[in-house]
Amino acid sequence: MTAKTTISDRQAVLVLRLAGALQSWGDRSSFNRRDTRPEPTKSGVIGLLAAAAGRPREQPLDDLLDLQLGVRVDQPGTLLRDYHTVSDYRGRPLPQAGVSAKGIQRPTSPAKHTHVTQRFYLQDAIFLAAIAGPHDLIGTLATAVTRPAFPLALGRRSCVPTQPIFLALRTGTLEDVLRNEPWQASERTRESYARRVKHRPEHIDLSATLDDPDGEELLNDAPLSFDPRDRRCTTRRIRHTWVPAPTGLTRPDPPDVSPTSDDHDPFALLGW
């Protein structure tokens, strides 16, 4: 069955909240530039689950390869560029990356005194990740996430998640689960949204991405091996959609009080 059909009774869905000050979900690296995708990659999520379960990088991923992933963007965050320069404090040219037959690095030619690297991160982003698979396996992974064997990271090792990561175990389709879970955005974001739309709606439309063999986009982020000497990924098809999620904004609207000449706010039009 495809990801958009009903999951069998013997399957379950693990729901995770992926939030942190910084996240970085790269699916490719290019010399001195490390990009991030705007949402978690499948290799990153499977890697997080494998780390929680205490699996060495060399251990086969056979039982994790068929897990289905759905991601909902609850708070997209903002893009951060981390700009680095490297130079020799003695003023010498930087060495080449390669080495000679004697294992000695030669200086760059022409001489290069500064090396520039750029790394990109998502700031203050929050995602809802739903992972569907066999009931027993999903239950084991849920337990592992609550008591992880290895430190968990949001893409890169330096990106520490906030708590809680584990939200729930559900049944049903990935899309249904993403529709029914409450909006996980911060209180500040939700209140700002309510002020912007001038009422407190019960639902908000959020962007979602789901595994789908008939999907319109192809991503090269499905892991086959995390072995440092044999790291491999394959492609997967995804589809993009919008899902209405409960906002949790249940308090009544504030009374509409029109300003008088005595309390005129000159910054009101600027939204301050």
pLDDT band at 269 (very low <50, low <70, confident <90, very high): low
Please check the confidence at residue 105 and state whether its pLDDT lies above 60.
Answer: yes
d(CA 103, CA 106): 10
pLDDT digits 0-9 by tens, 162-181: 988 999 999 999 999 999 99
Element (H, E) at 6: none
Residue 129: name the closest of 65, 66, 178, 61 by CA.
Answer: 178
Q: What is the mean pLDDT of the chain?
A: 87
Cis peptide before 110 (omega within 30 of 0): yes
Q: What is the percent of the chain where pLDDT is above 70? A: 88
Residue 211: name the closest of 180, 188, 234 by CA.
Answer: 234
Residue 161 amino acid letter: P
pLDDT band at 1 (very low <50, low <70, confident <90, very high): very low
Find where tokens 């939030």 sit.
19
Residue spans of the domains in the chain: they are 11-83+116-249
Please check the confidence at residue 218 and state whether its pLDDT lies above 50.
Answer: yes
Give yes or no for a contact between 219 and 235, defined as CB atoms under 8 angstroms apart: yes
pLDDT of residue 110: 87
Q: What are phi and psi of 252, to 5 degrees?
A: -65, 155
Give yes or no for a contact between 213 and 2, defined as CB atoms under 8 angstroms apart: yes
For 31, other C-beta atoms within 10 Å of its C-beta total 7
Please check the confidence at residue 259 and state whether its pLDDT lies above 60.
Answer: no
Please check the confidence at residue 65 and state whether its pLDDT lies above 90.
Answer: yes
pLDDT digits 0-9 by tens, 16-48: 999 999 999 987 776 778 899 999 999 999 999
pLDDT of residue 205: 96
pLDDT band at 140 (very low <50, low <70, confident <90, very high): very high
Q: Quick one: average pLDDT of 185-198? A: 91
Cis peptide before 164 (omega within 30 of 0): yes
pLDDT digits 0-9 by tens, 40-63: 999 999 999 999 999 999 999 999
Report the DSSP beta bridge partners of residue 115: 86
Q: How far is CA 32 from CA 84, 94, 242, in A?
A: 10, 15, 35
Please check the confidence at residue 190 and state whether its pLDDT lies above 80.
Answer: yes
CATH topology of domain 11-83+116-249: Alpha-Beta Plaits (3.30.70)
Q: Quick one: average pLDDT of 68-94? A: 92
pLDDT of residue 99: 79
Please check the confidence at residue 244 and state whether its pLDDT lies above 60.
Answer: yes
- In 3-state terms, what secondary structure has residue 74? strand
